[in-house]
Amino acid sequence: VSYDESCSKRQRLLVVANRLPVSAKRTGENSWSLEMSPGGLVSGLLGVAAEFETKWVGWPGVDVYDVVGKNALSKSLADMKCIPVFLEEVFDQYYNGYCNGILWPILHHMGLPQEDHNDTNKTYQTQYDAYKKANRKFLDVIIENYEEGDIVWIHDYHLLFLPQYLKEYNNKIKIGWFLHSPFPSSEVFKTLPSRSELLRSVLTADLLGFHTYDFASHFVRTCTRILGVEGTHEGIVDHGKVTRVAVFPIGIDPNRFLKACELPEVRQQMTELKERFAGKKVILGVDRLDMIKGIPQKFLGFEKFLEENMDWRDKVVLVQIAVPTRNNVPEYQKLKSQVHGLAGRINGRFGSVSSLPIHHLDCSVDLNFLCALYAIADVMLVTSLRDGMNLVSYEFIACQEAKKGVLVLSEFAGAAQSLGAGAILVNPWDVTEVSSAIKEALNMPAEERDERHRLNFQYVKTHSAKKWGDDFISELHDTLTESDMKIKK
Ligand code: G6P
DSSP annotation string for 229-254: -EE-SSEEEETTEEEEEEE------H
**Region for residue 247 given its phi and psi (left: phi exceeds 0; alpha: psi -120 to 50; beta: otherwise):** beta
Q: Tell me the CA–centroid distance for residue 424 and ligand 1, in Å.
A: 26
Q: Which of 288, 290, 390, 394 is the pocket-test mutation for ligand 1 (most atoms within 8 Å of CB)?
A: 288
Ligand 1 atom at minimal distance to the Cα of residue 17: 9
Provide the residue count of the chain: 489
What letter would DSSP give residue 115? P
- Give the whole-angstrom CA distance, residue 202 versus residue 185: 17
Ligand 1 atom at minimal distance to the Cα of residue 181: 8
Ligand 1 atom at minimal distance to the Cα of residue 99: 14
Handedness of CA 252, 258, 261, 264 (dihedral sign): negative
Contact of 363 with 323, CB cutoff 8 Å: yes
Predicted pLDDT of residue 484: 64
**Minimal-distance CA residue to ligand 1 atom 11:** 39
Q: Tell me the CA–centroid distance for residue 166 and ligand 1, in Å.
A: 23
Predicted pLDDT of residue 233: 82
**Ligand 1 interacting residues, C-beta cut-off 6 A:** 18-19, 38-41, 156, 180-181, 325-326, 388
- Give the whole-angstrom CA distance, residue 130 versus residue 123: 11
Q: Tell me the CA–centroid distance for residue 141 and ligand 1, in Å.
A: 21
- Give the whole-angstrom CA distance, residue 345 versus residue 351: 10
Find all residues with CB under 8 Å of 106, minimum gap 6, and list them: 112, 184, 188, 189, 191, 192
Q: What is the pLDDT of residues 214-227, one digit of tens each?
A: 999 999 999 999 99
Contact of 282 with 376, CB cutoff 8 Å: yes
- Give the whole-angstrom CA distance, residue 489 versus residue 484: 9
Predicted pLDDT of residue 486: 60
Q: Tell me the CA–centroid distance for residue 250 and ligand 1, in Å.
A: 15
Q: Tell me the CA–centroid distance for residue 62 and ligand 1, in Å.
A: 15
Percent of the chain with pLDDT over 90: 85
Ligand 1 atom at minimal distance to the Cα of residue 158: 9
Burial of 4 (0-12, 13-18, 19+ CB in 10 A): exposed
**Minimal-distance CA residue to ligand 1 atom 16:** 19
Q: What is the pLDDT of residues 89-107, one digit of tens each?
A: 999 999 999 999 999 999 9
Ligand 1 atom at minimal distance to the Cα of residue 42: 10
- Give the whole-angstrom CA distance, residue 447 versus residue 99: 45
Band of pLDDT at residue 45, cut at 50, 70 and 90:
confident
Q: What is the pLDDT of residues 367-399, one digit of tens each?
A: 999 999 999 999 999 999 999 999 999 999 999
pTM of the entire predicted model = 0.95
- Give the whole-angstrom CA distance, residue 280 versus residue 217: 44
One-letter amino acid for residue 136 of the chain? R
Q: Does residue 54 surpass a pLDDT of 80?
A: yes
Q: What are phi and psi of 205, to 5 degrees?
A: -70, 165
Contact of 177 with 210, CB cutoff 8 Å: no
Ligand 1 atom at minimal distance to the Cα of residue 325: 15
Q: Tell me the CA–centroid distance for residue 32 and ligand 1, in Å.
A: 22
Q: Tell me the CA–centroid distance for residue 288 and ligand 1, in Å.
A: 9
- Report which of 413, 412, 373 is spatially closest to residue 393, judged by C-alpha positions: 413
Helices (H), 357-443: 367-376, 391-398, 416-419, 431-443
∠300-305-310 over CA atoms, to 5°?
A: 135
Q: Tell me the CA–centroid distance for residue 40 and ligand 1, in Å.
A: 7
- Give the whole-angstrom CA distance, residue 360 versus residue 416: 25
Q: Mean per-residue pLDDT for 135-149?
A: 96
Q: Which of 15, 16, 18, 19 is the pocket-test mutation for ligand 1 (most atoms within 8 Å of CB)?
A: 19
- Give the whole-angstrom CA distance, residue 125 versus residue 104: 16
**Minimal-distance CA residue to ligand 1 atom 14:** 326
Q: What is the pLDDT of residues 311-349, one digit of tens each?
A: 999 999 999 999 999 999 989 999 999 999 999 999 999
